[in-house]
Each structure stands twice: as C-alpha cells, then as structure tokens.
Chain A
Amino acid sequence: MKAAAMNAPETLIDTTLTLNGEAITRRIPVRQNLVDFLREEMGLTGTHIGCEHGVCGACTVRVDGNIVRGCLMLAVQAEGRTVETIEGLSDSGEIADLQDAFHKRNALQCGFCTPGMLLTVQDLAQKNPRATREQIREHISGNYCRCTGYQAIVDAVETVLAARQIKV
C-alpha cells in the first residue's frame, strides 16, 4: 500500500491541457520543453525557438493568461493549464489590429521574432493600455529583433494602443 502510493519520477507522463481552447491529452517525454511539444507534436510552428535559454523571447506563449518563455517550461508542466499560442490569438481575432499595424508600419522583416513580439505587446496592451513609448520599449526588452531596429515596432504598438483607447 505504502509503496504503491509512493510518488516516483517518470520519463513519460500523460498530460492534459487546454491548447488554444481545445482540451488535449498526450503522452509527453518529460524532457521535452513546451515549444518543442507545440511545434513537433502539435504542428503549431508559429511559436519559434531561438536561443533555448530564455534570452531571445521568440518562444513566448501564454499560460493561464500570463506570458512565459516556452523554452524554459517543460511540456508536462502544462498539466491542467491553459496554453495559448500565436495561432490561437490569430484565429480568435484578438490581435488582428496589432497584426495589421505591424504590417502597415513595417514592424517585421524576416518575421522570426514576430509571434513572440505580438504576444508580448498584447500582454502590455492588457496590463497597461496607456503605456508610453518608454514603457513599450521596456516591455519588449526581452524580445530580440535582429531586423527592424525596434523603432517601427514601437510605432505600431503606439498606434494600436491609441486606437484601442478611442474604441473603449
């Protein structure tokens, strides 16, 4: 009885999570991080993977409403959690205005950083809808963009924040 109840380490764990609104269960190798799971097991390749040690922000996803680094979380740690990716935010239309503004302002070139950047700026828009340019820069400080020089990204975010203010 006691031995049966003992909590033992495993290398494969059945994990149930809500992914972009849909409940899924998969048997996941414990060492697989959340981004690799999303890309390789679920075919959701919008979340990118760059540095794999928390520095670049390309892997940003939303877990239980908060943005996190997908490369620093094990997929099995998503048990019982709600995970949202760029695909989910795109399909729901939640960030359509941001995507449009990024396009119009040339806030992306190669697009590698863009999914993580969009999740991060949407997080800012929710938490601080009146953010200044300085605060926008601070919020995206953990998301590297090697192409745009950031100026166009800050412009796009500023435009959307202002437009959303008028709407509400």
Chain B
Amino acid sequence: MKAPPFAYVRARSLADALDLLERHNHDGEGAKILAGGQSLMPALNMRLSSPAVLIDISRLQEQAGICVKDGHVHIGALTTHAAIGNSAAIRQHLPLLADAVEHIAHPAIRNAGTFGGSLATADPAAEWPACCVALDAQIVLAGKAGTRTVAARDFFQGLYATAMQPNEIITEVVIPIPAAGTRHAFLELARRRGDYAMVGVAALATFSGGAPRDVRLTFLGAGDKPLSATKTAQVFVNKGISESSLKEAQDTLATELDPAADLYSTAATKLHLARVLTARIMKQLVA
C-alpha cells in the first residue's frame, strides 16, 4: 500500500525540529519525527500510522557520529546501524554492539536505520535496546525546556513504550566503557537471518582467576522490553560455571522470565529458547 497523505518538512537544526514538533504535534498526535524511516515508513505504507506532518531530522549531521570522551562512548542518535558496525572505536570499546549489529535486518536497511530511531521504536525484540540496558547506557533527550538524561533501564517501559515525552527528541546515547578485561557475547535466534529475534541475549562478565565475578544477562524478545535476569546471573557468580550451575541457572531463569507468546512462538518455546541461550552464552564467555 501507499502512505496516507501527509505534509513534510526538513528540519534545519535541532531547535527547528523542536519548534516544529511544538507547532504541529498536539497530545502526541499530528506530527512524527522521521529519522532513518526503516520503521516509520513501513508503518505509513501499511497505514498503521497517519501523522499529518513528518519532520525529517535525517539531515542533522551534528546528531550523527561516534566519539570517545572521558571513559564514555557518545553515539549520536542519527548514527546508522551500518556506521556503528564499521566503527573502529565501537569495535575497540563496545565490541558488544559490533557483534549485535550483524543481527539487525539487512545491509540496505542498516545503511538507513538509526541508533536513536531503534531506541525510540522500542521493539522488545530489537537488539539496540537490550544492548543499551546491558551496558548501562544513558539516553539524552532534548525538549523545548532543555535536555535531560534517562538511564536505559528506566527508558524502556513496555511494548513500544518509552520514557520519552511526546515533544522530545533523542539526541545521543552515552555509554560507559566497560572495565578492562570485561568479556562480552551476543546470541540470538531468529527464523531467518535479519529477522527480529525470537529470543536473544547480551552478556557481559568479568572474571578473576577463571571465576566469574560480575555477570550480566540481558534478554531481548523475552518480554515486553529488554530484561536483565539478575538472579540467573548471580548463580554463576556464586557457583562458577559448571554443568550443575548451568542447570541451576536455567531453572532460576524460569522463575525470572515470563515471556508472552507472539505470532510465531508460544511462551513455553520462548522460555525454552532463553534457557538454551543462557547455557550457550555462558560457555562462550569462558571459552
């Protein structure tokens, strides 16, 4: 199908975009920000959304790019998935993101879709939201009244729901560089390459003398938002990584995750897959 009628305006600056939002968006309706268009355009073409005005921010180059400052990586909201995948700074400081990007859609979509757009969309099966929660990212939001910062774990509130106010724009994401020696892994199960995950998991861990110390397991596709399985992760801190602790962790996971069925998988399937991934990713971390 074709998109419903709308009017279009290319924002000249962030301030202009915020002005346009205030003028055309009322009670969260009327206007929408257009970034990479890789979620919004399908929604328009399927007529799931019909804003009167599209405010195109994709030309605001100051909002795109990656820089490293004071132990943090700053990722501009308009940085594309492909640019993150190609970034030497990301490979060096946040290799988790470099591993996850391969699971996001396909090359042509990664060339257009943006980091900020993915967070704003807040699909529970998307890779970036789970990575941001795993990495303790801070999401920077600009509004007419000024700028505020929300921790990723508070930003995602439910199915496609975030802490963003209607007339706010994500400008950048600030991610602390994990301590030296932190190991990472990212695994995901999808029906076809590039599809949204059925279930996935991002893992970060530090080890001392072969024993896991900090372990963090953040799941995607296993609830209505990214979920950190803290009790499950703690099993490995308490008991190390062995066949028996893997089994115990899998049982703990069943008490922590309560995935809802979606179009393709039952709740039981999702939980089973999450348990399988837990064992797989822990083995990968120690390998």
Could you mark each residue 3-29 of chain B with 1 if its beta carbon is under 8 Å from any beta carbon of chain A, else 0?
111111111100010011000100000
Residue numbers in B under 8 Å from A36 (CB-CB): 2
Q: Is the CB of A77 within 8 A of B7?
A: no
Q: How far is the CA of A137 from the CA of B53 in the complex (A)?
A: 39
Most buried by A among B4, B10, B194: B10
In the complex, the chain B residue whose C-beta lies closest to that of A137 is B193
Q: Is the CB of A7 within 8 A of B38?
A: no
Q: How far is the CA of A146 from the CA of B29 in the complex (A)?
A: 40
Q: How far is the CA of A73 from the CA of B113 in the complex (A)?
A: 11
Residue numbers in B under 8 Å from A10 (CB-CB): 7-9
B179 within 8 A of A: no
Chain B, 41-60, CB within 8 A of any chain A CB: 41-42, 45-46, 53-56, 58
Residue numbers in A under 8 Å from B37 (CB-CB): 72-74, 77
Q: Is the CB of B9 within 8 A of A67?
A: no
Asked whether A9 and B9 contact (CB < 8 A) given A52-B2, A120-B107, the answer is yes
Chain A, 38-70, CB within 8 A of any chain B CB: 52-54, 57, 60, 66-69
Q: What band does the interface of chain B fall in when counting residues whose beta carbon is under 8 Å from A?
A: 35 or more
Contact of B38 among A72, A76, A141, A143 (CB under 8 A): A72
B192 within 8 A of A: yes
Q: Is the CB of B5 within 8 A of A142?
A: no
A152 within 8 A of B: no
Q: Is the CB of B111 within 8 A of A11?
A: no
Most buried by B among A53, A69, A139: A69
In the complex, the chain A residue whose C-beta lies closest to that of B8 is A30
Residue numbers in B under 8 Å from A123 (CB-CB): 107
Q: What band does the interface of chain A fall in when counting residues whose beta carbon is under 8 Å from B?
A: 35 or more
Chain B, 219-260, CB within 8 A of any chain A CB: none
Asked whether A7 and B12 contact (CB < 8 A) given A57-B108, A73-B41, A142-B109, the answer is yes
A113 within 8 A of B: no
A138 within 8 A of B: yes
Closest beta carbon of chain B to A102's beta carbon, Å: 19
Q: Is the CB of A142 within 8 A of B106?
A: yes
Residue numbers in A under 8 Å from B187 (CB-CB): none
Task: How many A-B residue pairs have C-beta atoms within 8 angstroms? Tell me.
Answer: 102
Closest beta carbon of chain A to B37's beta carbon, Å: 5
Q: How far is the CA of A138 from the CA of B11 in the complex (A)?
A: 35
Closest beta carbon of chain A to B169's beta carbon, Å: 15
Q: Is the CB of A141 within 8 A of B193?
A: yes
Asked whether A7 and B20 contact (CB < 8 A) given A54-B42, A74-B8, A142-B107, the answer is yes
A164 within 8 A of B: no
Q: Is the CB of A7 within 8 A of B82?
A: no
Closest beta carbon of chain A to B235's beta carbon, Å: 34
Residue numbers in A under 8 Å from B193 (CB-CB): 137-138, 141
In the complex, the chain B residue whose C-beta lies closest to that of A138 is B193
Asked whether A142 and B108 contact (CB < 8 A) given A7-B20, A72-B38, A73-B41, the answer is yes
Contact of A11 among B7, B24, B106, B112 (CB under 8 A): B7
19 A-B pairs (CB sep. < 8 Å): A7-B10, A7-B12, A13-B8, A30-B8, A30-B54, A31-B2, A33-B3, A52-B2, A53-B41, A54-B109, A57-B108, A66-B111, A68-B112, A69-B108, A69-B109, A69-B112, A73-B112, A74-B8, A120-B107
Give the B-binding residues of A (Cβ under 8 A). 7-11, 13, 30-31, 33, 36, 52-54, 57, 60, 66-69, 71-74, 76-77, 79, 120, 123-124, 137-139, 141-143
